[in-house]
Structure 1
C-alpha cells in the first residue's frame, strides 16, 4: 500500500537531491540533469517545503546534506536504481522475461558465455542482462535478480547454489621451462606471476605441495585475463584456475610447470536474495545452470 501522497516527492526533486548529494554543487547537478541551476534550486526548495525538514547545510558554494538527509538519500538512491532497472527490464522484455545477472569477468567470459547459447535456445522468452561486479553488493541497492559469487557460501541474506570448486594449476609457456621440473621446490627458481587480489595464492599452493611458509614475490596483475596472456608470452609461471586455461593447454600455448593440482581460495556460486520470491526467469536459469555445473 502506498503511503500518504502528500509525502511522495516528484521525480525531478528526487533526482536533483541525489545528484547534489553525489556531486556536492548545484551547478554540477544542473549540468548532469541538463537543467538550469535555478531549476535545481527550486526543486530542492520545494522538496524541503514538502517534507518540512531542512535537508542541506549551505557552505559557501557547496551544499552538504544533514545527517538525516544523508540517510534519506540512501533510501532514495536504492529506489531510483530499482525503478531504472525495472524500466530497463520492461523496455527490453515487454513480456516479463528479463533476467539481470551480475557476473565475475573471468568466470563470465570463460565458463558462462560459451554455455549461454544453450540457455537461449531452451528459453527463448528470457533475455539475460549481464553486468560485471567484482565484489559482493547489496541486492536491494543494485536491483539484480542473481549474481555469480566466488568464495564461500557466506553472502548475507542470499541462497547459494554451488557451481564449481576452484582447482588451480601452475602453467607457463613451453619456452619458459624447456625441461619439466622434478620437484615442486624448483618452481621457486622460476619467475612467478601473481594476481593482485590473491597475494597469498602461491604460498597456499606450495604448502599443499609440502612446502609451507613460502611467500614468493613476482610480477603482479589485476586481472586473470592479463596474467594468462603474460604467461602465454613467456613472462613466467602463473597459478591459474584450470577452467580458465583449458583451451590454452589443449592448444599447447601453456604447459603445466608442475603437474599437481591445488585447491583454490573458494568456489563459484549462483546466489540470489533469500527474501524475494524468485521470478520464473530466475527459476529457469537456476535449473539450467545447475544442470550445466552438475
Structure 2
C-alpha cells in the first residue's frame, strides 16, 4: 500500500512539475513611456524574437520558440500596441520599435544579443542594425523587405482602402484572448498607417550594417526571393536562405499551420548553425 501511495504521489508531483514548466510567465518593463511585455525562455546566449505586424509572440513563434530555448536564452517581445504591450500617443514606427527593444535589453543587462525578426519584425531588425549596432551580435531577417518594389503593387493598393475583414482571423482571435476589441482596432489602424507611409531604406544604409546578417525567405513568400537575394548581397556579411514555403510557413507561423511539417525544425537548425559560426 505504501508503495502504491508513493507511486501516486510521484505521478502527481510529475504532473504538477510539467504543468509549471508549460506555463509562460510574462514580464513587463517600463520602456520609453510604454509598458512593454516580454518573455524569457531557456538558457544560453541571448536571442531576441521580434514578431510581425498584427501578431504576438504566440502567433509567430509558438512552434520554434521551444526549440530555440533548448540552446539559447530567448527573449521574446511584444511591440507597441501589440499583444500584452501598451500603446503611446504616437504612431508606430520601426525606429521606435528598435529603440524600445534596445532599451529593454539595457534594462535586462544584456549588452549584446542575436536578433531574429519576422516580417515587420525583420524591418525592426534593420533599424536595430542601423541605430543600435552595439546591441547586435547577429541578425536574422525573415520574410522582410527593404524596398517598396519587393512586393506586388496590389499589396500597397490594399493599404489605401484597408478592410479589417482582411486581417487574418487567427490574429484577431489571439489578440482578443489578451486585449479588447478597441485595442485590436487600434493595433490594426496603426499597423496600416505604418505601412501606408513606408519608404524603406537605401542600399547604402544596408551596406553600413556590419553585423553578420542572415536573410531568410520562403520561395512563395510576399517579398520575392530575388529581392531577398539582392538584399543579402548588400550586407557586408550577408547570407541567404530560401526555404520552401509561404510567408512564415517555414517556421510554423500560425496563419499557415502545418503541424506535420519538419521544415520549422530545419529552420531552427539552420539559424542555430549560423549563430554558432
User: What TM-score, normalized by structure 2, do the two folds share?
Assistant: 0.28
Comparing both chains, which one has the higher relative contact order based on Cα–Cα distances under 8 Å and sequence gaps of 6 or more? 1
Higher gyration radius (CA): 1
- Greater fraction of residues in strand: 1
User: What TM-score, normalized by structure 1, do the two folds share?
Assistant: 0.27
